[in-house]
Every structure is written in structure tokens, then in C-alpha cells.
Structure 1
Amino acid sequence: MTTDVTAPTRTKRAGFVGGGFMATVHSRAARAARAELVGAASSSPERATAAAERLGLETGFDSLEALLADPGIDVVHICTPNATHAGFARAALEAGKHVICEKPLATTSADAAEIVALAEERGLVAAVPFVYRFHPMAREARARVAAGETGRLLSVNGAYLQDWLAAPNDDDWRVDSAVGGPSRAFADIGSHLVDLVEFVAGERIVRLNAASRTVYTDRATHSGIETEDLVALVVELDSGAIGTLLVSQVAPGHKNALTIELAGTEASIRFEQERPDTLWLGRTEASALIERDPARLSPDAARLSLVPAGHPMGYQDAFNAFVADAYAAIDGVVPDGLPRFADGLRAVRLTEAVLASSERRDWVEVAA
């Protein structure tokens, strides 16, 4: 296992499926990792050509099949609507490509488990961008919890709040279950929240009780919407610690407010994604705000801290670090904390537990 940022031993040749916002983020990260950006496939040859021009790629492929048939492409980034992820990932793995697939990995745990097994069978690197793990101060929180600084875990509290769907006419393809899957808010952003909670805590959620709401069943271009706008849940972890989590895409004034706080017998620790360069450590006698200073951080946090203290780092930096680690894994390195397809399957299983609990109005055990 490595705690060093590892440069690729050779230039990776990357292909991209999709051409929207996430493809932009992925391509920036691939470029930062010194990859050769070969081209894009999209829903039509024309859209692929436009995406290639916009993203600065070499070519637009006529189809996914044409992209996968290119023997020079090492890794495929899948940045398309949710319902297509499993099929595209399966095709890329069967073509012998390493894969970085947006979450959710699939819209059912059966499909997710199938492609996890396929990646393992083929010996290919298959990663899911739970990139909030790659903020240095999230790693610092994890290191302090693992070192016992917070003591025995008692409770967790977390939220992921956004407002981009807060108004009745706000709309997006994600609200359509045929395209986005049966869960929206939780699968989209709640998956990040539970991944970060489990990653920092070093424990898994074993059971949960959830309630969800669809605030607007009709929006600008969609009607009869069934996917949820917000979810609240109570959780229990391996150790018996309990917690509350809130996920909402209809919280006015909140742009990307991902926050987790873990309270133990000795201290509490809180990480806020919108303030990623600090970490709050609370004790009974005094509290402290820990700054991102590489000279004073744990090794894993320090290796992700690429600029001196006082120079802000953010989301794209975290994404760049994720892609760099995924590419290093292709070279045979084992980067600490790289989220793989098994972590994507875990998120899908948690999503299914949330949907089942909300429907039954009762506690649900989470599949291991």
C-alpha cells in the first residue's frame, strides 16, 4: 500500500463516454494525470464530435463500440446518465479496458455485483469517484479516528444539502426514474455522504430507518415524478454507535453542503466539504480548528496536500487525486483509500436499504 502520490510509469490513453459536466471534470483530472485524451463517445456521432471539441480530446467516436475497439485506449471514463452505467461498464470490461465509472455504479445491486465480479475476473482496475475521500482534511479526520484520538465512537451526524432543485420549475434528467434510476437524492449525493461516513469512521452502517419525500411531483418538463427530493435516516454502525443523516436537493441556500461529524468518548471531529482546508476537533475542555498544513498532518493527508498551507484546495483537486490514484493502480500500485467497484456496490446496497425502509416505514438491515 502506498501513501505517496505516484506518477504513472507510462502515459495512459483515456477515452470518455458522455460529454456533460462530469466528463469535463474527468477530462481535467485525466489531463492533470498526464494522460493522453484520445476521444469521446456520446449518444450520436455529432454529439461525440462536439464533446471532443469542447473537452479538447483528439477525436469523436461514432459509437461506444468504436471507442472500445480502439486498441490504444487503456482506461474508459463513464460519465453518462445513471441507467446506462452498468451496461457501459460491462462492455468496457469485456473489451479489456480499465474503467472509472460515475456513481451510482448501477441502479440495482444485482447489476452492480455482476460487474464487480467481472472486473475481478478480468484483473482490471475499476473505480468509482467517491472523491470527497480525497480531501486532505477528510483523510486527516480518518487518521485521527483510526489512531483513537476521538475514543470509542458514540454517534455520527451528517448532511448533504443542495438547492439546485429547490424551485418547482427546476428540472433535470435525474428526476426521471427511467434514466436516473429508482432513487435520486440518495443515489446521487446520499451515496457520497454514507461513503464518507463509513470511510472516516472505519465502520459500516448495519441497519437504518429512513423516511423520504418527493416535494414536487411535477416540474418544468417532467410530470408524475416518483424519485425523492430528500431523505432523513437514523443509522446504526458496527460498534453500536448511532447517528442521523439528512440528504436534500431542495434546501434553499445550500449549494454543496456535505458535512460529517463523529463524536467519541474523547473528542468530536467534523469535516465540512465547503470548508475543506480545516477540520474541527472538539473536546470538553477546549475545541480547535485544525488547518491544512502538510508539515503537521498524517502521512496520508499530507501526500494529498499539494500546495502549502494557506493556499486553498478544492473539489477539482480531490478529483484529480482520485484519478491519479486510479491510474497508479493500473500500474500495479495499491493506493490507500481508492474507491473501487466494490465500494460502488456498497453504495447501491445502502440505497436499496433506504428505499425499502422508506417504503416499509421500518428498520432495514443493510446487506454486507
Structure 2
Amino acid sequence: MKRFRTCVIGVGFIGAAHIEALRRLGNVDVVAVADVPNAAAKAEAHCVPRGYDDYREMIDTEKPDVVHICTPNASHYEMAMYAMERGIAVVCEKPLTKTLEEARALAAYAKEHNIITGVNFNCRWYPQVMQAKAMVDSGEVGDIYTVHGGYLQDWLYYDTDYSWRLEPEVSGDSRAFADIGSHWIDMVESVTGLRAVEVLADFETFHKTRKKPLKPVDTYSGMALRPEDYAEIPIHTEDYCTVLFRFDNGAHGACTISQVFAGRKNQILMDIGGSRCALHWDSEDSNELWIGRRDAFNQKAPKDPSILSGLAAASISYPGGHVEGFPDTFKQNFKAIYAAIEQGDSGKGIFANFDDGLREMVLCDAVVRSARERRWIKIDG
């Protein structure tokens, strides 16, 4: 088994999750991180040998096998291209880029130069999501009539909640759909094998302005914001959206995406209505898959590799009765990506690559245009 040297750019919450998951693979050494400020301190905090302020210096000095990009969206393009121009495999957080044009350029370069890439659409890798995919693939679900669900969070519930994701110049024209709605539709298209061909979207921004802290957020621990501690910032991206979908087989779909839904920290829902049975999956009960039938008892399929499909079992590391969740999806995704890198296989695998990242940017662009123009938009590509 090949031993990999890996560098990670960006050491926030997601960057730290990448580092932890990579170490669990057993054959990956995270040799350096790049971040600003305090790269050396962040490297030490995560037990990484070296920290760099400049990702270019890190890549040129360390000459890694793989680079992971866990930074704000606006920086993804230049970082991914810099690594790929040096023949380095790249794993990028979603959305792939800030703009559709950037995504097209990255996907085209990776394909032309046979570079193996990955996008961290980790929701594909929940075992019961894989089981749903296996049931669709085998014909057990039948013809798909409908798909619906959503992704609900409350981390931006108050107007005092603030993040770089609220700034279009950094994150892009969409926020809620690009950030978490992209996970939902990627999961749905991966599970069903269907492609959305038309969308109708409705956006709303409930907090027209937000209070951006003028000092580090932890400064406010235990005390109320004072007027002089923040700036009122106008908000131009959506807190909420609902999107209707038409799929290439004639199926219809709908999702509701919100980052201002109190009490839901990170809930993903997926319901698939087929001609033979229906499926329901809830990330807050992620180790069970509900199967609904008209003429027989409904069932709940637990996460147990001894009784699930081979596809689902391959994404499971522990026996039945031992819960697996969010961190494990990172591990399974990276395991598949690194296996492809070791084998030199740049063909379409079960993990998301830059082509899939481009696909989500195409969908997001259509969703944004639909919301602005208040009409159905056909998907190009």
C-alpha cells in the first residue's frame, strides 16, 4: 500500500475534520498545513510537523502527493490550479469554486492532464444512503416518481450570527443552496442516477442586514454586543430557498434549504417515492433507512454490514450496533479517492470528482437565475 504525503490548506472546522479523517486511513501523513494567521501555531495544535503562511511555498517545498483545499470558496480556483499544474492530486471542499467559469476551467484541466480529483460531497458516504443507492440500482425501488427532502440548520438564526459565507465576494452569488443545498442534490442524483433537467427556485433573505463583529468573535464570550463592537452589513444571499426539480426520467422533486430553522443543527432529509416502494432517510437518525410498502409491512433497515448490500457494506467500518456518522463519511470518501490515486484511475468512481463539482455549480447557477427571474430554468449540461 502506498504511503501518501498530504498537505492541507485551511485549518478551520472542516480542515481539522479532513486532517482527522486522513489519519484514520493509516497510510496518509499530513506533512504540513497552510493558513493565515498563525500557521505554525495551528500546525502545532493539530500535531502537524510544519505550518506555512503561503500555500505556494508549502506546495513547492513539501512536494506532496495530494493537496486538500479547505478555504473560502473564492480561493479554491487558484489553489487547485496551482497544485494541478504541478501534477498533484487535489481534494477540494464544496462548492468547487466561486463561479461557474472557474469550475469549468478546473474540470477541463483535470481531464486534459489526467489528474485525479475529489470534491468532499461526503453525504454520499453515509451507509444507509449507499443502501438506498443499491436498492435503486437493483430495481427494488422501481421507477422513481418523486424525490423530496431538505437540509436544515440554525447557525445563522440570529442577525448577530456572522460568517464569511455571508459575503458574495468570497462565497459567490448563492449561500444556502451553494453551501448545503449542493450536498442534497448531489446526494439525490448519486442515489437515484437521475439528472435534474429543470428548476424553479424561491429565495428569501430574512435578515436584510447583519451585525458583523469588528473584533474576534470569542472576544464576546459571556457578554452582550455593544453598538461600537459591530458594523451593520447588508446581506445579498439567501437564508432560505425552496427548489422544485424536474428530472430526466419525468420524476418530480422538491427541497427546502434553510440556515435559519431553529433547533435543527444539521438535518438532511431524503424521501424517494418509487413504483415498488418508498425510501426515507434522516441524517439525525442516520443509521436507519425506512422502507415503505403499500401491500406489506414497512421496514427499518439498520446499519449492519452483515445484512446490507455490498455497496453499503463497503462504506462501513464497524459491526452492526456500532454507530457511524459524519466523521466516518469523510474517512470513507477519502479512502475511495486515495485508492483511485494509488491505482492511477482517473475514471468516474463512486466519489465526487471535479466533474461532479462542476455539475453542482451548473445546478447552482440555474437555481440562482430561477430565483432572480422567478421562472423555470432549464439545466445546461
TM bucket (normalised to shorter chain) is over 0.9
**Is 1:37 aligned to 2:36, yes or no?**
no
**Is 1:25 aligned to 2:17, yes or no?**
yes
Match of 2:360 in 1: 347
Residue 156 of structure 1, CA deviation:
0.6
Q: In structure 2, how many angstroms separate the alpha carbons of the residues matched to 1:274 and 1:336?
A: 27
Aligned partners of 1:208 and 1:234 also within 8 Å:
yes
Aligned partners of 2:76 and 2:92 also within 8 Å:
yes
Match of 2:172 in 1: 181
- What pairs with 1:1-368 in structure 2 (closer than 5 Å)? 9-34=1-26, 35-44=28-37, 47-70=38-61, 72-221=63-212, 223-285=233-295, 286-332=297-343, 336-368=349-381
How many residue pairs get matched? 358
Residue 359 of structure 1, CA deviation:
0.5
Aligned partners of 1:162 and 1:248 also within 8 Å:
yes
Match of 2:216 in 1: none
Q: In structure 2, how many angstroms separate the alpha carbons of the residues matched to 1:77 and 1:217?
A: 34
SS class of match (2:358): helix
SS class of match (1:223): strand
Q: In structure 2, how many angstroms separate the alpha carbons of the residues matched to 1:308 and 1:183?
A: 40
Q: TM-score of the superposition, structure 1-length normalised?
A: 0.95
Task: Please tell me the root mean square deviation across aligned C-alpha atoms, in Å.
Answer: 1.3
Per-residue displacement from partner, 1:49-70 (whole Å, max 9, x unpaired)? 1221122111012411111103
Q: In structure 1, how many angstroms separate the alpha carbons of the residues matched to 2:288 and 2:305?
A: 12
Residue 112 of structure 1, CA deviation:
0.3
Unaligned runs of 5+ in 2: 213-231
SS class of match (2:285): coil
User: Which residue identity lines up with residue 331 of structure 1 in the other structure?
Assistant: E
SS class of match (1:295): coil
Unaligned runs of 5+ in 1: 1-8
Per-residue displacement from partner, 1:44-96 (whole Å, max 9, x unpaired)? 4xx21122112211101241111110354110010101111111111111122
Per-residue displacement from partner, 1:192-218 (whole Å, max 9, x unpaired)? 000011111110111010000111121
Q: In structure 2, how many angstroms separate the alpha carbons of the residues matched to 1:363 and 1:342?
A: 24
Q: In structure 1, how many angstroms separate the alpha carbons of the residues matched to 2:271 and 2:121?
A: 18
Aligned partners of 2:98 and 2:170 also within 8 Å:
no
SS class of match (2:314): helix
Aligned partners of 1:98 and 1:125 also within 8 Å:
yes
Per-residue displacement from partner, 1:153-196 (whole Å, max 9, x unpaired)? 11111100001111121111110111111111011000000001
Q: In structure 2, how many angstroms separate the alpha carbons of the residues matched to 1:193 and 1:24?
A: 23
Match of 1:3 in 2: none
Aligned partners of 2:32 and 2:49 also within 8 Å:
yes
Q: In structure 2, how many angstroms separate the alpha carbons of the residues matched to 1:70 and 1:270?
A: 48
Aligned partners of 2:65 and 2:88 also within 8 Å:
yes
